[in-house]
A and B are shown apart, each in its own frame.
Chain A
Amino acid sequence: MRSGMSRRAFFKGAGVSAAGAALLDSRFTQTAEAAAREGEVNVLGPRAVPVSLTVNGRGVSVRVDPATTLVEVLRYDLGLTGTKIGCDRGACSACTVWLDGEPASSCMTLILDARGRTITTIEGLADGDKLHPVQQAFVEHDALQCGFCTPGMVMSCAALLNRKPDADLDDIKSAVSGHLCRCGTYPNIFKATLAAAGAVAKGKAGG
């Protein structure tokens, strides 16, 4: 087993909060460096650079090739596979996470642009076992079929309600207009988010 894997295993075993101390070598970086070391292939470009992020409230540091995207680090270095890749070019929004609370395509975000920012993924949305109102509404209204687009959809709809707790149907259509659901679950996504908006607004009104 390669050393990168064992560091990765350590990282996972130690938990994300402890990993701030250990600098994680990204899986995307190793080969370029190894290639340069062995001198067989002329590898161009900068070496791996250290990057510190805050992911779901925990500090994380990785050494990573600057060409790496945020979703690659989330999925393949941090093991946060809830964030999906549907197109890898910002067209399907399956990779939506929050950057400082705003939805963003993590496949179009270079890791260097995520430095020092607060990142929230689908794994960080619920409060422990208590689902976010949008997650709860998605469950109750069957706003998912195969479920592959669901994490991205949930992140965009939840961000919408943060921004506008009394969102209406048009707001919701607009919020998910960049998301593709090939199973065609849109009507239930609308219903669920409207219901969650009602619940959120009611919760706020009630104190």
Chain B
Amino acid sequence: MMSQQTDQERGEAAQRNPEQPVPNSGPSRQQAMLYGIVGDGLKEVTRRVPLDEPPPLAENSKLKSIGKPIPRLDAVQKVTGKARYTFDIQLPGMLWGRRVVSPWAHARVKSIDTSAAERYPGVRAVHVLDRVLQTAQLRDPKAELGNRYPTVRYAGQPIAAVAAETPRAAEQAAKLVRVEYERLPHVTELDAAMKPDAPVVFPGPVEQPSTAGGGGAPPGLPQHGNLRGPNTGGRFGPPRGDVSKGFAESDVVLEGEFRTQVQTHVPMETHGIVADWRDDGLTIHASTQWTLSVRDEAAEHFNLPKSRIRVISDFTGGGFGAKYGIGNFGLLAIHLSRKAKAPVRMMLDRREEHVSAGNRPSSIQEIKIGAKKDGTLMAMQAVSWGTGGVAGGAGIGFCYSALYPCPNLYAEQYDVFTNAGPCAAFRAPGQVQGIFSLEQMIDELAETIGMDPLVLRDKIDTGGTDDSLARAVERRAGAERFGWKNRKPAGFDAGPVMRGVGMAQSQWIYLVSKYTACEVRVTDDGGVEAFSSAQDIGTGTRTVLAQVVAEEFGLRPEEIGAYIGDTRYPIGPASGGSRVTASLTPAARNAAHRAARDLAGRLAPRFAAEPETIVFADGKVMVRDKPDTAMPFREAVKKANIGEISHRVDRADDYEGYAMIVGDLQISKHGIGGVQFAQVAVDTETGVVKVERVVAVHDCGRPINPKLAESQIYGGVIQGVSYALYEERHLDPGSGHQLNANIDQYKMVGSRETPEIEVVLLEQFGAQSSTDARGVAEPANVATAAAVANAFYNATGKRIRTLPMTPANVLAALRT
């Protein structure tokens, strides 16, 4: 069972129970390959690689398809409206689902009367939920015995749903479901929920075995009232050294309290599925980040064999971490489809999306760091509280333990439960909050000891991992592009609009899905196709898959049929944790390589040549160094009478293995990095902040398509600016209802607020896989808010430790 345990949970489980088998235990060879950063001291290393690995790739400039900024292959479908999202699926006889949700933030459901809804014309089925997903679960279910229905713990929690022949009928009938509630006291605000006399969200300690990416604490933590913790572990290890000794030996000790807000994902396509239950199996169209998580949860909750469930996701309209599993809407849709014997469409509306489909938890972070006058880090201490509503996982990531080596470290992370919608993973879960405080503290340290922030990082960013080596280059490249040398002292600008610049560093894990495979087929008319169940949430999965396969056949990417987003295809990774390209492309290249060599063997007799001399290049087949033998690819294959060639290959382990492996997640000791520079203008009279310019320098291993990587970096920066300046979920403490559950009042960056963004992308080789590709989505979003905050300080001479930087928060910071 592929559970939805989060990266962080799994990481922490690994830390408790590490298993580090020898990578690629089969026959092997020693292979010389490229290592380092192109243009900055590229060298060769020797790795032990599986015997059947394809030869290593050269740098991108020497390749034909990989590394080229080609337009994405499904772009024409998207610009013409032909791309069909789950939202667009209309099946014959399809019914419209509509949920009934609780108006109360905390209540026991005493009775539910669905009879009027059932009688409403056009209604075909009604279903009442007997369990609620996407929430923490009581450790001892007996703490709530005697309740027939799940307890309501947030306003907007789903109770039931109807399926009807028209959307109007579904909407009307949903209003006719009569639910009798016994209201309970509620609490929605973080500070209030931590008070000893606060209403308790759960009547006992809770765990979160399955949280759509939102969990983040090991099981068995102490819990008092709404406060669960402390979790003192981190992804890269328990506390180390002795912080009090470290602080005592420090020349400089800095302290600060940081606060970050709840942010919602707001994918343009809301969550939803179309479920079609039939006697011979269940078909689900899902707007998802992981087709297999939908299949596996449906199998679990409906006791179906996985072979009888097919999940299809041709296009997903964004996800950003929140779209895993079937969700409560999916449970309801499948039940309704089974009852009505018809397909049921259940898409959330925009309000439901904000309220119940995930969010980034808030945080309060009390940070203390100690250092020598020369910048040497002596001790770091981070205590954090955060709320993910009824779900756990409000930590602040792993940056304190992993970004800068420090001999003495202590961290405590607490979850605070509130009567609010569940959190979910959100583009670098925890890490965005943690970097916001850490990188401001490092900036403050630089200022305090009179050292340039870049020089300080040169001194302390010494982990030696690939991401650390990349950041050193990124600091130099970024400083030059940005014009860092023109930086003025803090508060230099006379105002009233004060401009300043700042920088911050990014770090994310380099993650590989263990269970990843790809099938490549060659048909007898010269068609080449690649298959993976991985989905595309907007990153360009189809395109990078085709580019990698095209390289092996000497074809153009648009000549490859790239088929994804269907659980009938070979097992593929989740679009989460920045892992698809890293996981999928080596498997795809290896499958393509084997298929191409198989094909070469069958073509060789027709060319009167040895198989190993057959090469594929520029759309042709020929004998190496004999251009007069060249024949167009399709023509050559047609003549060879091959029937069909098919090779399915599993992803090999990274050549140096992993720091930890838990289930499907293989986490490298290396990471993915980045450095971002920002220029801001702060209107000190109105408190309005504008981010004017960002230079984002990033590494993602070998970029398979630099154009698509650049697009993702734009997106990460823009979401980061949006988080830094505007976004905030507002709940009404009295009712628990979200006040801005829409797009007009939940303020986000639009065209007018988009800064000028310049992207610099490194080409870096870690010599770990047959493509050496890594992800970029998350690191692009990690550093932005901290870079903006450091620029705010440089502009005004004041620290802003509270997000978002609304006029009220800005004016408060300026008064300090």
- Which residues on A are within 8 Å of B, measured CB to CB? 1-2, 5, 9, 27-28, 30-32, 34-35, 38, 40-41, 65, 72, 75-76, 79-89, 91-92, 94, 121-123, 125-126, 131, 135, 138-140, 142, 144-151, 154, 172-174, 176-190
> Are A154 and B538 neighbours in the complex by a CB distance under 8 Å?
no
Contact B317 A147 (CB under 8 A): yes
Interface string of B705-745 (1 = CB under 8 A from A): 00110111011111100100000000000000000001110
- Whether a CB of chain A sits under 8 angstroms from the CB of B640 is no
Distance between B321 CB and nearest chain A CB, rounded to angstroms: 12
Give me 9 A-to-B residue pairs in the complex whose CB atoms sit less than 8 angstroms apart, sorted by A's number: A27-B165, A84-B317, A131-B80, A142-B72, A145-B712, A173-B752, A183-B711, A184-B717, A189-B751
Partner of B121, one of A35, A94, A122, A184: A35
Cα-based distance from A184 to B777 in the complex (angstroms): 12
Nearest B residue (CB) for A138: B79
Interface size, B (range): 35 or more
Residues of chain B contacted by A85 (CB below 8 angstroms): 87
Residue B643, interface by CB 8 Å: no
The answer to whether A139 and B349 touch across the interface, beta carbons within 8 angstroms, is no
- Does more than half of chain A's interface fall in helix, strand or loop, or is it mixed? loop
B724 to chain A, nearest CB (A): 13
Instruction: List A contacts of B714 (CB < 8 A).
Output: 184-188
Distance to closest chain A CB from B123 (angstroms) = 9
Contacts of B735-765 to chain A: CB distance below 8 A? 742-744, 748-752, 754, 757
Contact check, A135 vs B79: say whether CB atoms are below 8 A apart.
Answer: yes
- How far is it, in angstroms, between the C-alpha of A27 and the C-alpha of B93 when the chains are bound? 12
Contact B76 A87 (CB under 8 A): no
- Tell me which residues across on chain A come within 8 A of B320, comparing CB atoms: 182
**Interface 9-residue window, one of B60-68, B182-190, B265-273:** B265-273
Question: Are B121 and A121 within 8 A (Cβ)?
Answer: no
Query: A150 and B78 in contact (CB under 8 A), knowing A173-B752, A188-B714?
Result: yes
- Residues facing A in B524-553 (CB within 8 A) are 537-540
Bound Cα distance from A172 to B63, whole angstroms: 36
B484 within 8 A of A: no
Inside 8 A of B78's CB, which chain A residues have their CB?
144, 147, 150
- In angstroms, Cα B320 to Cα A205, docked, is 44
Q: Which of B166-174, B222-230, B625-633, B807-815 contacts A (4 or more CB under 8 A)?
A: B166-174
The 8 closest A-B pairs by CB, nearest first: A82-B81, A146-B538, A184-B718, A148-B317, A147-B78, A184-B715, A122-B81, A81-B88
Specify which of A27, A89, A135, A186 is in contact with B754 (CB 8 Å cutoff): A186
Whether B92 is near chain A, meaning CB under 8 Å from some CB there, is yes
Told that A151-B79, A176-B750, A184-B719 touch, could you supply 6 new A-B pairs with CB distance under 8 A? A27-B165, A82-B82, A150-B79, A182-B265, A187-B714, A188-B711
**Shortest distance from the beta carbon of B19 to any chain A beta carbon, whole Å:** 36
Q: Quick check: is B71 within 8 A (CB to CB) of the other chain?
A: yes
Q: Which A residue's beta carbon lies closest to that of B268? A: A148
Which of chain A's residues have a CB closer than 8 A to the CB of B150?
A: none
CA of A37 to CA of B92 in the docked complex: distance in angstroms? 25
CB distance from A34 to the nearest CB of B (A): 5
- Whether A149 touches B268, Cβ cut-off 8 Å, given contacts A27-B166, A142-B75, is yes
B93 x A1 contact (CB < 8 A)? yes
The reply to whether B167 and A183 contact each other, CB–CB distance below 8 Å, is no
The answer to whether B121 and A145 have CB atoms under 8 Å apart is no
Chain A residue nearest to B267 in the complex (CB): A182
Determine the distance from Cα of A89 to Cα of B349 in the docked complex, in whole angstroms: 11
Residues of B within 8 A of A146 (CB): 267-269, 315-318, 537-538
- Contact partner of B92 (CB less than 8 A), chosen from A1, A84, A145, A177, is A1
Considering the chains assembled together, what is the distance between the CA atoms of A180 and B80 in angstroms? 18
Q: Which among B83, B166, B742, B752 has the highest number of chain A CB atoms within 10 Å?
A: B166
Give the most central of B71, B74, B166, B268: most A CB within 10 Å: B268
Q: Report the minimal beta-carbon distance from A68 to chain B, rounded to whole angstroms.
A: 9
| B195 contacts chain A at the CB level, 8 A cutoff | no
Which of B79, B316, B751 counts the most A-chain CB atoms under 10 A from its CB?
B79
Closest chain B residue to A82, Cβ basis: B81
Bound CA span A147–B85, Å: 10
In the assembled complex, the Cα of A203 lies from the Cα of B531 at a distance in Å of 41
Pairwise interchain contact A131-B267, C-beta atoms closer than 8 A: no
* Cross-chain contact A183 with B166 (CB below 8 angstroms): no
Interface contact A86-B268, CB-CB below 8 Å: yes
Question: What's the minimum C-beta distance from B126 to chain A, rounded to whole angstroms?
Answer: 15
Q: Report B299-336 residues with CB < 8 Å from chain A CB.
A: 315-318, 320
B719 & A86 in contact (Cβ 8 Å cutoff): no
Q: How many Å from the CB of B13 to the closest CB on chain A?
A: 32
Closest to B83 in A: A147
Interface hits, B246-266 → A, CB 8 Å: 265-266
How distant is the Cα of A35 from the Cα of B164 in the complex, in angstroms? 13
Chain A residue numbers with a CB within 8 Å of B718 are: 184, 186
Q: Are B754 and A187 in contact (CB under 8 A)?
A: yes
B90 surroundings in chain A (CB, below 8 A): 76, 79, 81
Decide yes or no: A131 and B76 within 8 Å by CB, A146-B268, A179-B750, A180-B743 being known contacts: yes
Report whether B79 and A144 are in contact in the complex, using a CB–CB cutoff of 8 Å: yes
Q: A5-B93, A182-B748 are in contact. Are A94 and B711 (CB under 8 A)?
A: no
Give CA–CA (A26, B72) in the complex, Å: 37
Known: A182-B266, A182-B267, A182-B748. A5 touches B92 (CB 8 A): yes
Neighbouring B residues of A142 by C-beta, 8 Å: 71-72, 75, 707-708, 710-711
Among residues of B, the one whose C-beta sits closest to the C-beta of A75 is B88
Closest chain B residue, CB of each to CB of A150: B78
- Inter-chain CA distance A201–B696, complex, in Å, is 33
Cβ of B515 within 8 Å of any chain A Cβ, yes or no, is no
B166 close to A87 (CB less than 8 A) = no
